[in-house]
Amino acid sequence: MLFYIPFKPESPKTRLSRLLSPDERVEFSFCMLDDVYSAVEESGHDPVVLTTHRLDGYEPGFDLGYETRLCPEPLTPAVNSVLDEAPVGVVMSDVCIATPDSVLRLVERGGDTDLSLAPGRNGGTNAFVSWTSEFEVDYHGTSYIDHLETARSRGIDTSTVDSFRLSTDVDEPDDLIEVLLHGEGMSHDYIADRFEVVENDERRVDLRRLDDGG
Amino acid sequence: MLFYIPFKPESPKTRLSRLLSPDERVEFSFCMLDDVYSAVEESGHDPVVLTTHRLDGYEPGFDLGYETRLCPEPLTPAVNSVLDEAPVGVVMSDVCIATPDSVLRLVERGGDTDLSLAPGRNGGTNAFVSWTSEFEVDYHGTSYIDHLETARSRGIDTSTVDSFRLSTDVDEPDDLIEVLLHGEGMSHDYIADRFEVVENDERRVDLRRLDDGG
């Protein structure tokens, strides 16, 4: 099955500005993309980067042998433009602690249903597989709730995948803690080269920039 | 199987002080406890509240027909005091969007392993089942990583349950968003009576206190 991975290499991850420079944010975005691409590939499915811009020229350090489809539109119309290819999967490029197993759980639920959704923190929809061309997305704050409602109103049988890994997209500084603790790929290594997890006085978890990082 | 639910009714959830009054935080803690207790019970297992204080006298509005064991010690020694009863489960009282299914996934993984862990956000250990009396806990910031290391050093075969619901404990204001969006029990209703999820100007998710709440 094709799994589209929407990606926008321009000014990514601005909410990480406190911790990462603009160049680092671009590099880190490519690391996350690579991890998601690999997870889909190792699950036995076929990843395609649905990218707003051509990828060459951004990151000469990366092997950009990705399958790509260029789509300069915003996220919602870009994803909707591929949904008539159902069955089709979509997974966000920053769900970088996804594993092949978690991707497979999305696909397996389809035995009974026409749509399999993985909620993200804060109401997002981090990944889904649709077996029907009747489904349509609208990404925004509580998209997960609205996607459930869209499915219900169109008579699309829906299941949910209860996955910590798929629920974790990387937007905020705290999300990098999950990358450090649970990641296994390039994004883990990129952050581990620059930060360590420390416990503060209250034995709570924080990130500390390593002196030689950057 | 017995599932212990550690609980401390004294001054709970101080990090929610910005949103909930001290009385509300006690009430809400009992709501969360009730949801966790019900999830374990509905999974076919046997919940026991491992409580630092007697529960009567706190919340006259609750049916406190819970199985309880009084243990006035801090969390780590309290939990360690029951682990020689293995097989035994432990689930935190604030993992309030847990479902019977997610509890069962902890138990099912035990076919192959002696320990089944559910990581929480920020490195915590939100739930586990141990089939060996060799395991011991030490709760603090990155307890999940240390629990994996304890298990490895003692030769305890370990599996991990990848569950968004079990990963979600309620400590911070943002966690209440998950309760509103994914909760199904008393804690959902308690928060839904007082807050609504709104999208701010950037189409990101926030909580707003209802005028008639409290």
Q: Which residues pair with A90 in a beta bridge?
A: A4, A128
Contact A141 B204 (CB under 8 A): yes
As a whole number, the mean pLDDT across chain A is 93
Q: What residue of B is the nearest CA neighbor of A199? A: B141
Distance CA B7, CA B61 (A): 18
* Percent of chain B residues topping a pLDDT of 70: 96
Q: What is the pLDDT of residue B196?
A: 93
- How confident is residue B212, by pLDDT bands cut at 50, 70 and 90? low
Tens-digit pLDDT profile for residues A139-158: 988 999 999 999 999 999 99
Contact A102 B145 (CB under 8 A): no
SS3 for B151? helix
Distance CA B209, CA A203 (A): 31
User: Does the predicted interface ipTM exceed a cut of 0.90?
Assistant: yes
Which residues of B fall within a CB distance of 8 Å from A197? 123, 141-142
Instruction: Classify A182 in phi/psi space as left (phi over 0), alpha (psi -120 to 50) or beta.
Output: alpha
Answer with the residue of higher pLDDT: A109 or A124. A124
Which residues of B fall within a CB distance of 8 Å from A141? 197, 199-200, 203-205
Tens-digit pLDDT profile for residues A48-105: 999 999 888 776 666 678 999 999 999 999 999 999 999 999 999 999 999 999 999 9
Tokens of B60: 């006259």
Count Cβ–Cβ pairs < 8 Å, chain A vs chain B: 75
Largest Cα span, chain B: 55
Whether residue B119 contacts residue A180, with contact meaning beta carbons closer than 8 Å, is answered with: no
Q: Is the pLDDT of residue A212 over 80?
A: no
Averaged pLDDT for residues B18-40? 96
The label of the residue with tokens 């949801």 reads: B35
- How confident is residue A176, by pLDDT bands cut at 50, 70 and 90? very high
Q: What is the pLDDT of residue A201?
A: 75
Q: What is the pLDDT of residue A59?
A: 64
Residue to test with chain B: of A14, A101, A106, A142, most B Cβ within 10 A: A142
Q: Measuring CA to CA, which residue among A141, A135, A140, A93 is closest to residue A117?
A: A135
Q: Is the pLDDT of residue A213 over 50?
A: no
- Which of A40-44, A63-67, A155-159, A209-213 is the least confident region? A209-213
Answer with the residue of higher pLDDT: B24 or B59. B24
Q: What is the pLDDT of residue B113?
A: 94
Distance from CA of B14 to the nearest CA of A (A): 13
Q: What is the pLDDT of residue B60?
A: 60
- Which of A177-181, A185-189, B24-28, B108-112 is the least confident region? B108-112
Averaged pLDDT for residues B14-31? 95
- How confident is residue A211, by pLDDT bands cut at 50, 70 and 90? confident
- Which of A3-17, A109-123, B185-199 is the least confident region? A109-123
Task: Give the length of chain A.
Answer: 214
Q: Measuring CA to CA, which residue among A204, A206, A170, A174 is closest to residue A28?
A: A170
